[in-house]
Amino acid sequence: MAAFAYTSNFQSLMEMAGLLSNEQFSSFLEDVVFPYQSGPERDTLGFRVLPLKPAFDMTYAALQRNSHIQIMAKHVALDAHAVPEPTQGAEALEGTIPSVATNITIGKEDYLHEAQLLMNAELVGTPLVEAAQDMIASKLDEKFAEHNARASYMRDYVIFHGKYEITTTNNSGSFFNVEFDFKVPAANKIAKTSTAKWWTDDTFATEGSAADPIADIDALVQKLEDRGFDKSNIVIEIGFKTFRALCRHSKVREAIAVFMNPGASQSPSLAATTYGMSDAQLAAQLSARCGVEFIVRRFVTAVPKFDVKTQKFVMNEQTGFVEGTLVARPKGEVGEIHATGHLMVGGPGDSIHSSGLYDGGRILVDYNCNLREKVQIWDTEEIYLYVLTQGKNMAYLTTI
Amino acid sequence: MANTPLQSGHGHIYGPGKSVKSEGIIPVWLEQNGSRVMGGLIDLSAKIDGTNKVRAFWPKSIRTATPCYEGSTKHTYIPMPTYLVLEAVSAEGTVVKIAKGEGLPLLVDGMSLVKASDTTKKVTVSSANIAIDTDGFYKLTITANAFGTLAAGDVLVLETVAAKKPLGLTKTNLIYDGMSEDELDATKLNVVLCDAGRVIADTAPAASAEMRAALQTVKWEDIY
């Protein structure tokens, strides 16, 4: 009976799936797992994906643009040489690119369950190789989704902070206290205080009595206009809760009422004339009034943390964007994604070890099977950093 | 691979038709140093303290990395109930908050608890003195100063009836590890044991400083 053979002979899942060589494993990752993607896609909005660097070079170097304003060539006398110019357009950013890793471990007990499932699949007509490949693909896909989540989080974090920080909160259980600062000038940051805050609480329940969101947004956009950007080339990024509350802010409703109908009556109230409008209509009018596009950020991820009191893992929700903060940035690219390739250690692959590359070599997957312990492990690794090269052309507004 | 990290869960879930609500996998072991060579039995009907059976403390499952010691019969093992104190208790305090979770030992009516580091004061637990907080942890009512003072992180252990020494405190030598197969009607568990490796201090069952000292080849690491 076939079933007996599988349980009496320890066959690794990779062996069952017919994926023993590095080449077979890499092809499987690219051809089967990559199109499989079930989780959220990786967000690279505003960042240029650079070609992979060599595996041995885990450093990045990028140019920080100092100013949007172009210097011009100078007139000289007929026989004269050109006057030396400073290279004011750039400043170097450099550092080490951090790595991200996950793993899947299957012990003997789990393996027996997996093997049983595979045998059942075979009994109902699914070829063993196909069933085993599907099982491996679904397991790895979950891990690649975790990689994508970290990347999308990093993207928002870099945009909303002007730097990337690895902390005990966003990297619980691993290393922390690491910072990549992309040098947003302090002068580009506006913080509303006291009654001028748009809301006096972080639940957006109470409006600041002296709040004037429209004027503040104008001032924020002006920070970039003063550096030579046209409004049509400026976008504002904002968290989804803040944007929803902003559209419903009484001062914004008043401004929209006047914008849509310059002769609007002050009585009973200007804001009242917009009560029939949906959030989407308010958002469109707000964008039209301010003359810039709003990009609403929504990606929420989580970092598990063990709570001794409840003896459960608590999913600490994390967003790379910051509610209450608006970021004005140039439209288009504001940064680059620096990433390295991977060293493939080992031979051509066998029943106890195989390496494969995923997503054009972006992620390395190492498979190990310990025959003595009957434990199978897949390790995934990726080395990359979202580098903000337009830090000096970013402007920030903190409203709560 | 010289060192083998294991997929670890709540340990072995046993018993006929037991419905166990799983909270998902709780990783406990970081690695085991290849020393999973010892095996034996845990008799669920054995009386740990002369009165209460093993099954009374662990009615459904035993979390992996629960401290054990070898009983008087070779290859029979006795798991040791340990209880983590969650918040400090002053000499005047009358409520002790104790961690409770899947695979951790229950507080059992009639059992006697002592502080692992100070065995002179004991508290006899009665079901009337046990309450469960909405967050899921125990609230054990005691008379003031019954334990002296307690600090968060202190470990309470079972006291034996005969000897005035907490059960197994100086005999700790093994750690329980998960089973490889389920049994339908378990009265005795086949267990696999490990005495060398690294465990996650937060998720592993509480182990007092005395137990850790007795198990020098195991490291408890703070991860979360």
Domain at A11-68+88-178+334-388: CATH code: 3.15.30
A105, A311, A372 member nearest B99 (Cβ): A311
A308, A312, A370 member nearest B86 (Cβ): A308
| Paired tokens of B23 | 């909270």
Taking CA atoms, what residue in A is nearest to B138? A309
Spell out the residues 6+ positions from residue A252 whose beta carbon is closer than 8 angstroms to its own.
Answer: A213, A214, A246, A282, A286
Contact of B7 with chain A, judged by CB distance below 8 Å, is answered with yes
| Paired tokens of A46 | 């505003």
Q: Are A280 and A251 in contact (CB under 8 A)?
A: no
Chain A CB contacts of B100 under 8 Å are 311
Residues 64-83 of B with CB under 8 A from A: none
Domain boundaries, chain B: 29-81+167-221, 82-158
Among A259, A245, A241, residue whose Cα is nearest residue A207: A245
Query: What is the full DSSP assignment across A277-345?
Result: --HHHHHHHHHHHHTSEEEEE--EEEEEEEETTTTEEEEEEEESS-TTEEEEEESS--EEEEEB-----
Chain A CB contacts of B86 under 8 Å are 308-309
Name which of B6, B104, B183 to mutate to probe chain A: the one with the most chain A Cβ atoms within 10 A of its Cβ.
B6
Chain B CB contacts of A308 under 8 Å are 84, 86, 99, 202
Contact of B203 with chain A, judged by CB distance below 8 Å, is answered with yes
> B23 vs A312: CB contact, 8 Å cut-off?
yes
Domain at B82-158: CATH code: 2.40.30
Taking CA atoms, what residue in A is nearest to B223? A173
Quote the minimal CA–CA distance from B162 to chain A in Å. Answer: 33
> B34 vs A109: CB contact, 8 Å cut-off?
no
Contact of A171 with chain B, judged by CB distance below 8 Å, is answered with no
Quote the CA–CA distance of B146 and B153 in Å, as a whole number. Answer: 18
User: What tens-digit pLDDT sequence spans chain B (224 residues)?
Assistant: 223 333 334 344 444 443 444 456 678 888 777 555 567 788 888 888 888 888 899 887 788 888 888 777 888 888 889 999 999 999 999 999 999 988 899 999 999 999 988 878 889 999 999 999 999 999 999 999 999 999 999 999 988 655 556 666 666 666 665 553 444 446 777 777 777 888 889 888 999 888 888 888 889 988 87
Domain boundaries, chain A: 11-68+88-178+334-388, 187-331
Quote the CA–CA distance of A268 and A271 in Å, as a whole number. Answer: 9
pTM above 0.80, yes or no: yes
Residues of chain A where predicted confidence (pLDDT) is lower than 70: 1-9, 66-69, 86-90, 264-268, 346-351
Query: In sequence order, which ranges of chain A are alpha helices (DSSP H)?
Result: 2-8, 13-16, 22-28, 34-36, 108-123, 128-161, 213-225, 240-248, 250-260, 279-290
Chain B CB contacts of A112 under 8 Å are 180-181
> B135 vs A310: CB contact, 8 Å cut-off?
yes
Quote the CA–CA distance of A302 and A317 in Å, as a whole number. Answer: 4
Q: What is the pLDDT of residue B9?
A: 40
Among A87, A89, A91, residue whose Cα is nearest residue A62: A91
Task: Name residue, tokens 């996950």.
Answer: A102
CB atoms within 10 A of CB B25: 12
Counting one residue from A and one from B, how many pairs have CB atoms under 8 Å apart?
Answer: 70
Classify B29-81+167-221 by CATH class: mainly beta
Q: What is the pLDDT of residue B160?
A: 67
Q: What is the pLDDT of residue B123?
A: 93
| Paired tokens of A160 | 């909303």
Q: What is the pLDDT of residue B67?
A: 87
Quote the minimal CA–CA distance from A107 to chain B in Å. Answer: 6
> B23 vs A108: CB contact, 8 Å cut-off?
no
Q: What is the pLDDT of residue B8?
A: 37
Quote the CA–CA distance of A4 and A112 in Å, as a whole number. Answer: 12
Contact of B202 with chain A, judged by CB distance below 8 Å, is answered with yes
